Structure 1
């Protein structure tokens, strides 16, 4: 049985924060969305495990009854709460306190710009969620302007193909490699990079962290647009395909992956993330559209759009 998705927006009645301009804003948002709820909306059912507001850090855990019980930390990159201070997102199998990791998976740094955001969106379940930074730029994609610094990040369990997967918990971003990131640039954001990446431990247990990626197929760079009039100018139906995480990249053959890694080639699906059958429309405005009575949201960024998020339905079906 799947888990129904809840969507939280900065425009909701009772929303805790309007513009998320500093680390404490995002900590407050996630405490309300993941743990406490607000207004008429219940929380996603995560728990707040640890907190140190002196350094602007908080640690959350997904529901171990239905999920993996993975840990997620959000923290100021420099222990301050000034405007435009970056945030560090870290995930691990376990934690004993702030910055105290057991089998850490990775860290990713994200920029916050007070003049480049227009609210926020969080959507998810008790096992995983997306956090989105809204842009002040109205168009889907641009080579300059505000959209290039906006980000979309998934934290939690993937929809693994292995029912006995011991390590489905991860963070989905666009930075390649398993090393922690200590910089925050727009090229590393989903929609601005040509990659979708998740670092994970082996499904069957054991040491070692391995990069998994989504085979993006055609992903147009820069201002080149294969369909400048947009997806609505065609007579073709829009079909969305799940974003499947593969071990390595599309150029890495299955035979080159050591069996001793205990890693399947196809690991699982990233909840909500889908690839469209029609790409294009850099200059289109409005981020959310309904296809076949289901609401989807464009993943905004530097490159011509090739990623969407399904905003309704169930995950982990």
Structure 2
């Protein structure tokens, strides 16, 4: 059943702020949005299963009434300003040292100071899953971040095409098993500059530990961008969902993914749609437009091309 979506922003009344770029500050933003709420906004109904102040560690479970009970984990070796934070998800969480069916990990940090500090955040989500984006003041003037680092990832349950799928919780970022925060390691870059092939891993339907390569494919293939910088108002007539495909996303190389345990097409990534036309690159962030009678958020481009990926802000 689809759920109502909430968009949280750094400029909401009562919103938590990233001031110095400490890992605990980013963790607090997620905790406020997912678990506690702030100002006039309620939380998404997730719950803290483990939290440690030093070194910073936070494990948050999605709402078991609507989700799989998967857990998002953030950790850092210390809480110094600029320290890298490691992020990943697990389907089965016992405690800090005992976890099963983990996703790949990614990482982020504040990047720099002053106008280049990554502290202008957006979280878009439900009780099952969320997208997290953080930009610097420097990059907010247009919908293209250039070769500047950002924070961007998906965490939560995908919509499986298989009833009672036991492993729907995953983490998708711009890098696999790397804590580097380079601009070309971001999910934004994968969407607007590169491609969505072999972007993460998930686990087979039999519930075993061995992870499988995951690609995202829309009606337009594994690309979600147009070559070139497009500042015009696009003529969007198609919004295609993103399917989770086993392997590199090509049916020609999917021989090992054609059975009931490792199916070639596994599910749909909630909320994310790829449009047939690109634009709004020079507009200030955030770009929010009504498409198919619902508000959508355009994921900012990075350096050279223009992204076509929109997140539905109303219902997944």
**Structure 2 partner of 1:201:** 203
The Cα of 1:231 is off from its aligned counterpart by: 4.0
User: What is the Cα deviation at residue 217 of structure 1?
Assistant: 4.5
Alignment TM-score, normalising by the size of structure 2: 0.86
User: Which residue is equivalent to 1:139?
Assistant: 142
SS at match of 1:181: coil
| Contact 2:123–2:132 (Cα < 8 Å) also in 1 | yes
TM-score, structure 1 normalization: 0.86
What is the distance in 2 between the residues matched to 1:140 and 1:199?
29
Which whole-Å CA distance do the structure 1 matches of 2:7 and 2:311 have between them?
Answer: 11
The 8 Å contact of residues 152 and 190 in structure 1, kept in 2 or not, is answered as yes
2 CA distance for matches of 1:2 and 1:87?
A: 31
Match of residue 311 from structure 2: 310
Q: How do residues 77-88 of structure 1 correspond to structure 2 at under 5 angstroms?
A: 79-88=77-86
* Unaligned residue ranges in structure 2 (runs of 5+): none
Q: Which runs of 4+ in 1 moved over 6 A?
A: none
In structure 1, list runs of 5 or more residues that go unmatched. none
Matched, 1:288 2:293: no
**CA displacement 1:103-132 (0-9 Å, x = unmatched):** 323221123224232411111111111111
- SS, match of residue 91 in structure 2: strand
Matched ranges for 1:201-280 at <5 A = 201-215=203-217, 216-218=221-223, 225=228, 228-232=229-233, 236-251=235-250, 253=252, 255-259=254-258, 262-280=261-279
Post-superposition shift, 1:294? 2.5
Contact 2:244/2:268 (CA < 8 Å) preserved in 1? Answer: yes
Aligned to 2:37: 37
- How many residues end up aligned between the 2 structures? 301
Contact conserved, 1:7 with 1:311, CA < 8 A, in 2?
Answer: no
Residues 1:24 and 2:40 aligned together: no
Please point out which of 183, 188, 193 is paired with 1:191: 188
Q: How far is 1:299 from its partner?
A: 1.7
How far 1:303 moved relative to its partner? Answer: 4.7
Give 1:96 shift: 2.3
Report SS of the residue matched to 1:309: strand
Q: How does 1:73-112 map to 2 (within 5 A)?
A: 73-76=73-76, 79-112=77-110
Please say if residues 272 and 312 of structure 2, whose CA atoms lie closer than 8 Å, have aligned partners that are also in contact. Answer: no
